[in-house]
Amino acid sequence: MTFTGLIGRLCLYPLQLIIRTCVRLRIHPNVLTFVGVLVNIAAAWALGLGHFVAAGVIMLVANIFDFIDGKVAFELKAVSAFGGFWDSVIDRFSDLALFLGLIYLYATLGRTDYVMVAALAMIFSIMTSYTRARAESLIAKCKVGFMERPERIVLFMIGAFTNRMAGVLWVILVLSVVTVADRIIHTYRELRDDPREAVA
Amino acid sequence: MKPAPPLSLPLRVLWNAFFWTYERTTWQYDLMVIAILAFVWLTPPDWLGDPMATGSGPIGWVVGGRR
């Protein structure tokens, strides 16, 4: 077993307890999704004030909601197309809030260089989601590239807990640019090799 | 999809790292995670001009920089 697989398996035990509790209380998954974004906004607030450890703890709580909403929907047999759409939209707001918190922090410190790094990382993180969503309206699947939302969120938490947010922002920026490029290349290749496209 | 032209091993490794198609919980994913964590934790904050952290970090200690 890989070590990331082992970490995932270890995290699953407490999460299953939370999922079971939510199912027992019959909390609607869309409510969990919405609570997640509110908690993420609180994390962004803490980031903006430079309280990284507090932000890390709040992000951890927020992302429990993000993680369990889909599982609770499945257990409650409440999986719906709107639920998936709602989850995706709310996730983008959560991403934007966290980056905005950092942009505010670096702006108040007068660090325009890191305002730019955070702003570019924010743009490419959103473009990562957009390129996949747009590609999958043209081709069957566009799941290429490393830097997806779970990786971004875990990196944010690592940066917050260990006070290494600058390094984390550089990693998110560079790998998000590469992920967007991967998705463009993949979509181009798929469409180029699609016989229906050749006819059109 | 047309088959990709054959590449030498180092180029193939570089291309596969760039054009990422591996799933989570594969050894390639673990390797990438280790590389990222090494960069984040070992790179001296001073080298990156980190606005919130100072110090030369483990790499700085090794190359003899001041803490």
Task: Give the nearest partner residue to B30 out of A3, A106, A171, using CB atoms.
Answer: A3
- How many other CB atoms are there within 10 angstroms of residue A69's CB atom? 27
Q: In this complex, is the C-beta atom of A8 within 8 Å of any C-beta atom belonging to chain B?
A: yes
Q: Is A162 buried (19+), middle (13-18) or exposed (0-12) by CB count in 10 A?
A: middle
Q: What is the pLDDT of residues B5-61, one digit of tens each?
A: 677 888 999 999 999 999 998 999 999 999 999 999 999 999 999 999 877 666 666
Q: Which residues contact A1 (CB under 8 A, 6 or more apart)?
A: A9, B25
CB contact under 8 A, B19 and A144: yes
Among the ranges given (A50-54, A74-78, A100-104, A181-185), the one the predictor scored with the smallest mean pLDDT:
A74-78
On whether the CB atoms of residues B15 and B7 are closer than 8 A, the answer is: yes
Q: Which residues contact B16 (CB under 8 A, 6 or more apart)?
A: B22, B28
Residues of A with Cβ-Cβ distance to B36 under 8 angstroms = 155, 171, 175
Whether B4 shows a pLDDT value over 90: the answer reads no
Residue B67 — very low, low, confident or very high, per pLDDT cuts 50/70/90? very low
| A142-148 average pLDDT score | 96
| Predicted local distance difference test score (pLDDT) of residue A151 | 96
Rounded to the nearest 10 degrees, what angle do helices A165-192 and A112-135 cross at? 30
Q: What is the pLDDT of residues A43-55, one digit of tens each?
A: 999 999 999 999 9
Put simply, whether the predicted model's pTM sits higher than 0.80 gets the answer yes
- Compute the distance between CA of residue A123 and CA of residue A146 in angstroms, rounded to an integer: 16
| A178-186 average pLDDT score | 98
Residues of B with Cβ-Cβ distance to A118 under 8 angstroms = none
